[in-house]
Structure 1
Amino acid sequence: MEGTCDLSVIVPVYNAAATLERVVGDVLALREAGLRCQVILVDDASTDGSAEIARRLSEECREVLFLQHDVNAGAGVARMRGWPHATGRYALFFDADDILHGDVLRLTVERMEAHPQVDTAMLAYRYERGRANTGLEMSFEDTRVFRQLLRAGAPAIGTPEEMGALLMVTNYPWNKVIRTAHFRQVGLRFGTTHVNNDIRGHWEMIVKARRVMLSDEVICTHLVDPEGPNITNQFGAERLQMLAALSDLYDMLERDGDLRRREAHRFWGVAQRLFCWARPRLEPAIVPRFDAAWRELIARIDLGDYTDLRLRHDPDLADALANHLLHPQGS
């Protein structure tokens, strides 16, 4: 029953046996600070014993719920499997291999309690890359957006229109705390692709909120192994799903003409940035199919949005999109 605890943390689990107990322990430790927490573990057909660990944790602790997929469906599907079971007044979609900063999470819940119109709180993050654990802050572009919106101080609170630049921030799910009841009412969906399934959820958490709160406090350390097997490092046929994820998001924008007109320039900015990131890394055999799917997506652009992009927002981006569409070999 919704509201029976303070916070639900939904964790998709895939081959995370080495870190799963730590993540669950970090969440449950918040009980000592007076925060009643629920952990929902959704095993996505792991092969390393993660499911057995998750099942044991659920048997040992009534605050832990264990769900399981027979077939690997991707993190987005796993998140949506866990979402209906969330009983907390607030929810966080976390990953099973990252480090949670519980003190910031607790403070964020307290702030949202004090601001009942805030449905989404977005926080900062940091990286640890490689086995040397070299610590890095957020990406340069994400840092720029945070600084722009926090010029008057932190935290900052605004409408989705006022905080629209956050749509351009990297679409991680684990740096946003949401108000469960509100997103039950307005709907929330992650994508169903194996890659980039967070894009849809990231946008919905911003554009469907009544108010968005932003803070530069770090809620998560994201552990990245450049040589690891995670999906971020894969650039074969699975990367074609990136364009399917973008197409799914554009479907959402097309169903709301006012939203599309307001945020189309940001959508195409995100799409172009992802394209430029992925294409040089692709396996050569995938490039022709990737380029064809990219041109199909660009062909959907509304003429009025394109004109607005060229005249008001970003003429260089407008030129780049036209060049991709009209000169395929130049992609």
Structure 2
Amino acid sequence: MAEVGVPKVSVVVPAYNCGPHIEKLAGSLLRQSLPADEFEAIFVDDGSTDDTAKRLDQLAAEHPHIRVLHIENSGWPSRPRNLGVDHARGEYVFFADDDDWFAEEALERLYACAKANDADIVVGKMAGYGRPVPRELFRKNRFDATLGNSPLVDSLTCHKLFRRSFLDEHGLRFPEGGKRRLEDHSLVIRAYFLSRRTSVLSDYVCYHHVQRGDARNVTAGKLDPASYYASVREALDVVDANTEPGPLRDRLHRRWLRNEMLSRLRGKRLLNAPDAWLEEVALEVQKIIQDRFAPGVAGGLPPLLRAVAYLAEQGRVADLRRLARWEAGIAAHGTVDEYRRVDHGVTVTVAAELRAADQPVGFRADDGRDVLMLPMEEVAPEVLDATAQVRKARLDLVARHRETGTEIFLPNTFQTERITGTTGADTVHLVHRATATIDFAALNGGRTRGSWQLKARITNVGWTEDTRLPLLFICRADGSRPRIRDERKLWNRVRSAVGRRIKR
């Protein structure tokens, strides 16, 4: 213990009508490797109308390190979280949601990382289920991460470890008073600027982040564009108060432009949106681009997103729909060229490309530039200049553990091949090839028991797309040599069997 009678960590959980969904989180807390007398969990029941209060009270009655606060319904997680901090006794506080869960060594590892680095904030690696989580941020451990030296801004949810005295010293609390979307963004971005040291723990999945299938969790409803983008402006205000005009401010602004604005105006997400609501979102986005962003904000985006920003700034909603219909067909396609066993592992060679429907994504040569080809002529060529992005195109090979959702980037060598297009010598498309050796004695720190699916992930010109590859690696024990299931062969056997049955 850091001090006698002081828990190392307080886990604060707002709870509302979660019912049986709370059991997974509760079970994960009871299985923590950190001893029960070294942490506490504070559940704040936000006026639940189902059996949540009863479930929590029973849990607290059986486990002394679990406490429950009952309050009148506030309608949003902010007040429960703030009350949880006020009642917390731990040296550090972790904010969790009632439908997520922890890995078994999460609290122990997060606390150890905080103490080893004297960190005010520790960001633990997350796995997402039905909702996105940062990828690049968790490519490696970063024990002195800042907004300037890392993609820290990609992680703005509150599911992190904070030094409690740090929160109190700076009055860091969640905004209360009604439903405030993105309520954690303003707090977290302020915390990053104020933190004396922030560490990112990437070699262990600490937190499993879930979008519940029944969509009953409190923030799952459709957003109101006016209030939502008012919250975006508040976060931008924090950035502006702590930076000077220039590359860093542009890069940080770009995060909200990309994630909270352009992501809603492209692909299937746009096509599934009601027309009237979409018009409101497009108008709010247009105003923020025009009022708040320097040219370098959109200018630093890859060409596809530059095109979406270009159309949004001009209010061209009909063209955004045209572009979205085309983009909805974008997918990564990959093949396994070769694989062979080596010692405790496997060497795999993969080829992959981006396609729009059945056609490769193409580029047109224009005065020495590679220009992304879109299904419209009314976008300026300089907006679609993809030369730099084509040079930086990347193919990652990722091993995903089926049972836990853990994803591991595999070191690889890759190259990009330019293939002349079928529409003329001035057009090309890209085929990426990568080779990786997977050492199952070392993968994930040797914690390999279970099934590992291989994926190819292409990052280029505004897309990051995964394609599942037909290789499954099954480890009977941690660090053991895997059994390889080649699903191409399985499919061939199934196809042959079906063919024989049809002939009969």
1:45-60 maps to which residues of 2 (within 5 A)?
45-60=47-62
Letter in 1 for 2:102: L
Give yes or no for the alignment of 1:202 onto 2:188.
yes
- Between the aligned partners of 1:254 and 1:8, the Cα distance in structure 2 is 32
Identity of aligned residues (%): 18
Could you tell me which of 283, 287, 294 is aligned with 2:274? 283
- Secondary structure class of the residue paired with 1:142: coil
Provide the residue aligned with 1:186 in structure 2: 170
- Secondary structure class of the residue paired with 1:11: strand
- Between the aligned partners of 1:159 and 1:144, the Cα distance in structure 2 is 13
- Secondary structure class of the residue paired with 2:236: helix
Residues 32, 247 of structure 1: alpha-carbon distance in 2 compared, 3 angstrom cutoff: closer
1:121 to partner: Cα distance? 1.3
Provide the residue aligned with 1:133 in structure 2: none
Contact persistence 1:125–1:219 (CA under 8 A) = yes
- Secondary structure class of the residue paired with 1:249: helix
- Between the aligned partners of 1:231 and 1:271, the Cα distance in structure 2 is 25
Give yes or no for the alignment of 1:158 onto 2:144.
yes
Contact persistence 2:110–2:122 (CA under 8 A) = yes
Residues 244, 45 of structure 1: alpha-carbon distance in 2 compared, 3 angstrom cutoff: farther
- Secondary structure class of the residue paired with 1:300: helix
1:210 to partner: Cα distance? 1.4
Contact persistence 1:160–1:206 (CA under 8 A) = yes
1:91 to partner: Cα distance? 0.9
Give yes or no for the alignment of 1:327 onto 2:315.
yes
Provide the residue aligned with 2:297 in structure 1: 309
Provide the residue aligned with 1:143 in structure 2: 135
1:108-127 maps to which residues of 2 (within 5 A)?
108-116=110-118, 118-127=119-128
Give yes or no for the alignment of 1:299 onto 2:290.
yes
Contact persistence 1:163–1:212 (CA under 8 A) = no
Alpha-carbon deviations, 1:59-99, whole Å to 9, x = none? 55443332334234212332223222221001100111112
- Between the aligned partners of 2:218 and 2:245, the Cα distance in structure 1 is 31
Contact persistence 2:46–2:80 (CA under 8 A) = yes
1:172 to partner: Cα distance? 3.2
- Between the aligned partners of 2:57 and 2:14, the Cα distance in structure 1 is 14
- Between the aligned partners of 2:310 and 2:194, the Cα distance in structure 1 is 31
Question: Which structure has greater helix proportion?
Answer: 1
- Between the aligned partners of 1:6 and 1:290, the Cα distance in structure 2 is 43
1:38 to partner: Cα distance? 1.8
- Between the aligned partners of 2:208 and 2:262, the Cα distance in structure 1 is 26
Give yes or no for the alignment of 1:177 onto 2:172.
no
Task: Please list every run of 5 or more consecutive structure 2 residues that lacks an aligned counterpart in the other structure.
Answer: 321-504
Matched positions, count: 307
Provide the residue aligned with 1:228 in structure 2: 215
- Secondary structure class of the residue paired with 2:20: coil
- Between the aligned partners of 2:37 and 2:115, the Cα distance in structure 1 is 12
Residues 11, 259 of structure 1: alpha-carbon distance in 2 compared, 3 angstrom cutoff: farther
1:249-260 maps to which residues of 2 (within 5 A)?
249-258=235-244
Provide the residue aligned with 2:87 in structure 1: 85
> Please, what TM-score do these two structures have when normalized by structure 2?
0.53
- Between the aligned partners of 1:60 and 1:34, the Cα distance in structure 2 is 12
Which stretch of the first structure deviates more once superposed, 255-264 or 200-209? 255-264
Task: Please list every run of 5 or more consecutive structure 1 residues that lacks an aligned counterpart in the other structure.
Answer: 130-137
Provide the residue aligned with 1:134 in structure 2: none
1:190 to partner: Cα distance? 3.2
- Secondary structure class of the residue paired with 1:15: coil
- Between the aligned partners of 1:293 and 1:162, the Cα distance in structure 2 is 28
1:187 to partner: Cα distance? 3.3
Provide the residue aligned with 2:9 in structure 1: 7
Provide the residue aligned with 1:97 in structure 2: 99
- Between the aligned partners of 2:105 and 2:80, the Cα distance in structure 1 is 26
Could you tell me which of 268, 272, 275 is aligned with 2:258? 272
Give yes or no for the alignment of 1:33 onto 2:35.
yes
Letter in 2 for 1:251: D
Alpha-carbon deviations, 1:245-265, whole Å to 9, x = none? 212212222333449973342
Residues 46, 271 of structure 1: alpha-carbon distance in 2 compared, 3 angstrom cutoff: farther
Letter in 2 for 1:110: A
- Secondary structure class of the residue paired with 2:8: strand
Contact persistence 2:142–2:201 (CA under 8 A) = yes
Alpha-carbon deviations, 1:226-268, whole Å to 9, x = none? 4533356533x54654323212212222333449973342223
- Secondary structure class of the residue paired with 2:249: helix
Could you tell me which of 48, 57, 66 is aligned with 2:68? 66
Contact persistence 1:168–1:269 (CA under 8 A) = yes
1:215 to partner: Cα distance? 2.0
- Between the aligned partners of 2:214 and 2:263, the Cα distance in structure 1 is 17
- Between the aligned partners of 2:30 and 2:109, the Cα distance in structure 1 is 16
Residues 89, 110 of structure 1: alpha-carbon distance in 2 compared, 3 angstrom cutoff: same
- Structure with greater Cα Rg: 2
Contact persistence 1:6–1:35 (CA under 8 A) = no
What CA RMSD, in Å, does the superposition of the two structures yield over aligned residues?
3.2
Alpha-carbon deviations, 1:188-236, whole Å to 9, x = none? 233554543332233234332211211221012223344533356533x
Question: Which structure has greater strand proportion?
Answer: 2
- Between the aligned partners of 2:276 and 2:242, the Cα distance in structure 1 is 37
Bigger relative contact order, structure 1 or 2 (CA pairs below 8 A, ≥6 apart): 1
- Secondary structure class of the residue paired with 2:91: strand
Provide the residue aligned with 2:206 in structure 1: 219
- Between the aligned partners of 1:8 and 1:322, the Cα distance in structure 2 is 46
1:12 to partner: Cα distance? 0.9
